[in-house]
Structure 1
Amino acid sequence: MNREPNNTLATLMADAGATNKGLARRVREVAKRHAVHVGTTHVSVQRWLDGGGIQPQTAGFLAEALSEKLPRKVTAADLGFPGTTTTPTSTGTAYATSLAEALGALDALTQRRPVDGPPAEPFMIQAEMDSAVLSWFVARPDGLILDKPGARRVGMRDVAAIRAAGDAFMRLDFQFGGGHGHKALRVYFREEVLPLLSASFSAKVGASLYDAATDIAQLLAWTAYDTGDHALANRYMLSTLRLTQVTGDRMMGARILTNMSHQANYLGQAPLAVRLARASVEGGRGQATPRAMALFSCHEARALSTAHDHKGAAHAMNEAERFFERAESVTDPEWLSYMDEAELVGEFCHCFRDLKQGREAVLFAERAVALTDPKYARTLGFCRMVLAQSQLLNGELEAAADTASQAVEGGDALQSARFQRYVADFQREISGHTGIPAVEQFNEQVREAMARLDDE
């Protein structure tokens, strides 16, 4: 049967400057944001252009992908496919009732690959998150089962090896994005870390072992989040939160809640992000160091800024500053070493940007860029993109485009799906300014950079 070419889709792609390969990648990214796996390739796109059909859910992802590249919203019905109006659905999980259940969930998660598709449970449902947080708040420590007869004996040398591996993977994450090391980290955690959690150890070794394992597990969650696999990240976060209950590590648990707030905020779920951030602040109060409390308060400010609560955000930023002033008064765990002045200022520039306070946003973003160590390539990329958006708020179009070009120029941060979204958001914001040399140069630079990623 002869099929008519989908000229409508072809026109939209031309307007968006999208290639078959580039559009396929964007559809996959959108699907990941909704915690759904799709196998869209450049061949799929060509089939659609040739008049082939499309699944309704995939059409929704396709419309969202094109909307991000165009100055107008595209719906599934606008794509030239008949009867495609279904919107995407999302997925999530629940808090484990026992340590054995949490370890089993982590083992299953480390065996999951993107091609396996998303988990079946609902994702980021507020009632389920609230239930998980309450369970963590009221739980007593499980306690460690010590000196198991007949089991492998774990020593501090094993714990030191896990910490060294975690440090290495953390450096990869900061410099190249979560996608660079997630697969290797997943295998390491499953093969080298999980077996030790059921082995034999002393009280001192067991406490250190669970601390190190929890740090690796949260990094697994973070790298999954950074690649855009939000359902997987959410499941890792909840399982990791459950691990903190073993030894009653309230500071690490509050850190996980902060990460969950960060993700909810990124996904546009501001009310949930606010509640999770406040839970981290209250959960850490009296248990966490001042530096950690500054981190937790920063993310409460971030969530409140997204919700456009100016008074609440200002209060949370003031709290963060007061905690940070006392940061040097105690010794912090190693995982908090990144929470320095540059990180604090970087969080604040996000807040001022979201509150549409352009002057303050530029001042704090400029300071964040100046203070951020280049080894934190992704963080530096974020700060530069926030500076560009803040300059745009102030009407400094050419300066904004130049700043954004500097952010993309390095290329390392582009490995992060989150950074790619910063870039796409900025492109939408400047999409009405055609014919401006700096804008055209930036858009061309992004096209070339993304093409290089597609070829890797």
Structure 2
Amino acid sequence: MSREPNHRLAALMAEAGVSNKGLARRVRDVAQRHGADVRTSHVAVQRWLQGGGIQPQTAAFAAEALSDKLRRKLTLSDLGFLNAPPEPSMSSTGYDASLPEALALLDGIAQLTSQDGMADASLLPESEVHSAVFAWLVSRPDDLVSNPAATRQVGMRDVAAMRTVAGTFSKLDFLYGGGHGHTALRYYFQHEVIPLLKGSFSLKVGKALFGVAAENLQVLGWTAYDRGHHQVANRYLLSTLRLAQAADDRMLGARVLANLSHQANYLGMAPRSMQLARASVEGGKGGSTPRGMALFLAHEARALSTAQDYKGAARAMNEAEKFFQRADTADDPEWISYMEEAELVGEFCHCFRDLKRGAEAVRFAKRAVALTDPKYARTLGFVRMVLAQGQLLNGEPEEAATTATRAVEAAGPLQSARFLRYVETFQHEISPYAGNPVVQEFNERVQAAVTRTHDE
């Protein structure tokens, strides 16, 4: 993708006297006249001015908008759009048949933010996601041919550096939430990772390069999800799946599907979550370690629990436990090092909470709290809140409020929309006991924490 500034567009906007927001509004108005749903924002206009891509239909609407304002006919060439590569559209997952096409869209996808007209509480259309998942399930490895004209020679030291970055931001995410580091990682991916993917490399380096690029993009997608930017996260994760395919890393691809299942489950989309989790399990077979299979099955158990399928959830939990018992029999990639006993038990306590089995939820949550390393602060916050919910299910509102208060106090600088929703959900569940002094204290602590976060 060309990064040369679009001087033609800038000159026409100056002549017309329109700002980025003004042009975005005019493009939306023109699209509406044509019966199209285009959600162009000032962020997208800025990207065009910087030489980023644009969808052909959107380019035509922009030309018509400026033509109306300047009272003369303008072409796409006049706007500097004639040779512009396409940007990811609202109807495109970016999971393309060929690797060159996927790379052509990757830069635009990496620039996406929640301001790009994507509703935070929604996901991509189910048909689009299923199409990408099916393509991955039946895919074969790409022929990784480097760019012979590239001036950048990529080696294993570059790969090692990228792996260190992925690990660093993953640790930051666990400790402080997706709100910390997401913007910095997005900048790194755009300006460091993508240029390397377009460099010159051997086949051995290429497989490692695309694999570690997928690891970085997976963290970027996960942090977007944790911030509550769901549709953006969907796009990041599907692009991660495409990079994992290029690297011929089935275990990493299955992990991406498990993440997508986790996100759908969080949003209450149990059928979608179950399908993605089962695709993760089936797609991971034969190419994953026992620890990886335990993770994928745990996510299937979570989806089945949300669907109130106790028998199915129990079966998936049992299978996950059997795989985990063999976890140390194989060498695992670094990215799955967090999948320890605490993580597995934490997933199970979520299952029992969703199945409304309070006694089991409390038993597994207490063990998860005891086992979880403080460096996984967000996970610890989650399981503490699940413990509180389990205690509430058992008819112990004061114990539940006390536990939840500790969770909120310990969360400290955690910037996680997901943790905040755990707290808000619990507030709703315990509202019948709002007159209890312990519950009142909990609500006051929550309000103080929210106010402190906003002040910061």
Q: TM-score, normalised by structure 2?
A: 0.78
Gaps of 5+ in 2: 1-38, 43-89
Give the whole-Å Cα distance in 2 for the aligned partners of 1:383 and 1:119.
28
Where does residue 214 of structure 1 map in the other structure?
A: 214
Question: CA 1:93–1:402 in structure 2 vs 1: closer, same or farther (change >3 Å)?
Answer: farther
1:447 aligns with 2:447: yes
Instruction: For residue 180 of structure 2, give the secondary structure of its aligned residue in structure 1.
Output: helix
Give the whole-Å Cα distance in 1 for the aligned partners of 2:432 and 2:405.
18
Where does residue 106 of structure 1 map in the other structure?
A: 106
Question: CA 1:454–1:147 in structure 2 vs 1: closer, same or farther (change >3 Å)?
Answer: closer
Instruction: Report the AA paired with residue 257 of structure 2.
Output: L
Alignment of 1:39-438 (within 5 A): 93-94=92-93, 95-118=95-118, 123-146=123-146, 148-412=148-412, 414-438=414-438
Question: CA 1:303–1:413 in structure 2 vs 1: closer, same or farther (change >3 Å)?
Answer: farther
Give the whole-Å Cα distance in 2 for the aligned partners of 1:93 and 1:257.
18
Per-residue CA deviations over 1:349-375 (Å, capped at 9, x if unaligned) read: 000000111111100000000000001
8 Å CA contact 1:274–1:304 kept in 2: the answer is: yes
Instruction: Report the AA paired with residue 375 of structure 1.
Output: K
Q: What RMSD, in angstroms, separates the aligned Cα atoms of the two structures?
A: 2.0
Give the whole-Å Cα distance in 2 for the aligned partners of 1:222 and 1:286.
25
Give the whole-Å Cα distance in 2 for the aligned partners of 1:436 and 1:455.
29
8 Å CA contact 1:136–1:245 kept in 2: the answer is: yes
8 Å CA contact 1:175–1:413 kept in 2: the answer is: no
For structure 1, which segment, 100-109 or 349-358, has the greater mean C-alpha deviation from structure 2 after superposition?
Answer: 100-109
Give the whole-Å Cα distance in 2 for the aligned partners of 1:251 and 1:367.
28
Q: Compute the displacement of 1:411 (Å).
A: 3.1
8 Å CA contact 2:377–2:411 kept in 1: the answer is: no
Instruction: Report the AA paired with residue 353 of structure 2.
Output: R
Q: Compute the displacement of 1:156 (Å).
A: 1.2
Give the whole-Å Cα distance in 2 for the aligned partners of 1:183 and 1:191.
12
Give the whole-Å Cα distance in 1 for the aligned partners of 2:113 and 2:240.
19
Q: Compute the displacement of 1:437 (Å).
A: 1.0
Instruction: Report the AA paired with residue 248 of structure 1.
Output: D
8 Å CA contact 2:391–2:400 kept in 1: the answer is: yes
Give the whole-Å Cα distance in 1 for the aligned partners of 2:99 and 2:147.
17
8 Å CA contact 1:92–1:119 kept in 2: the answer is: no
Question: CA 1:347–1:37 in structure 2 vs 1: closer, same or farther (change >3 Å)?
Answer: farther
Gaps of 5+ in 1: 1-35, 40-90
Q: Compute the displacement of 1:97 (Å).
A: 2.3
Q: Compute the displacement of 1:38 (Å).
A: 11
Q: Compute the displacement of 1:185 (Å).
A: 0.3
Instruction: Report the AA paired with residue 391 of structure 1.
Output: Q
Give the whole-Å Cα distance in 2 for the aligned partners of 1:38 and 1:384.
40
Which is higher, the Rg of structure 1 or of structure 2?
Answer: 2
Instruction: For residue 418 of structure 2, give the secondary structure of its aligned residue in structure 1.
Output: helix
Give the whole-Å Cα distance in 1 for the aligned partners of 2:146 and 2:105.
22
8 Å CA contact 2:146–2:198 kept in 1: the answer is: no
Question: CA 1:315–1:97 in structure 2 vs 1: closer, same or farther (change >3 Å)?
Answer: same
8 Å CA contact 1:147–1:202 kept in 2: the answer is: no
**How many residues get paired?**
369
Give the whole-Å Cα distance in 1 for the aligned partners of 2:225 and 2:339.
19
Give the whole-Å Cα distance in 1 for the aligned partners of 2:162 and 2:287.
25
Give the whole-Å Cα distance in 1 for the aligned partners of 2:314 and 2:413.
30
Per-residue CA deviations over 1:224-281 (Å, capped at 9, x if unaligned) read: 0000000100011111111111132111110000000000001111000000000000
Instruction: For residue 374 of structure 1, give the secondary structure of its aligned residue in structure 2.
Output: coil
Give the whole-Å Cα distance in 2 for the aligned partners of 1:397 and 1:383.
17
Instruction: For residue 275 of structure 2, give the secondary structure of its aligned residue in structure 1.
Output: helix
Q: TM-score, normalised by structure 1?
A: 0.78
Work out which structure has the larger RCO, using CA pairs closer than 8 Å and 6 or more positions apart in sequence: 1
8 Å CA contact 2:381–2:411 kept in 1: the answer is: no
Per-residue CA deviations over 1:317-365 (Å, capped at 9, x if unaligned) read: 0010010011000110000100000000000000000011111110000
Per-residue CA deviations over 1:394-453 (Å, capped at 9, x if unaligned) read: 011111001101110023464100000000000000111122111000000000000111
Instruction: For residue 410 of structure 1, give the secondary structure of its aligned residue in structure 2.
Output: helix
Instruction: Report the AA paired with residue 196 of structure 1.
Output: L
Instruction: Report the AA paired with residue 320 of structure 1.
Output: A
Question: CA 1:113–1:147 in structure 2 vs 1: closer, same or farther (change >3 Å)?
Answer: closer
Give the whole-Å Cα distance in 2 for the aligned partners of 1:223 and 1:125.
21
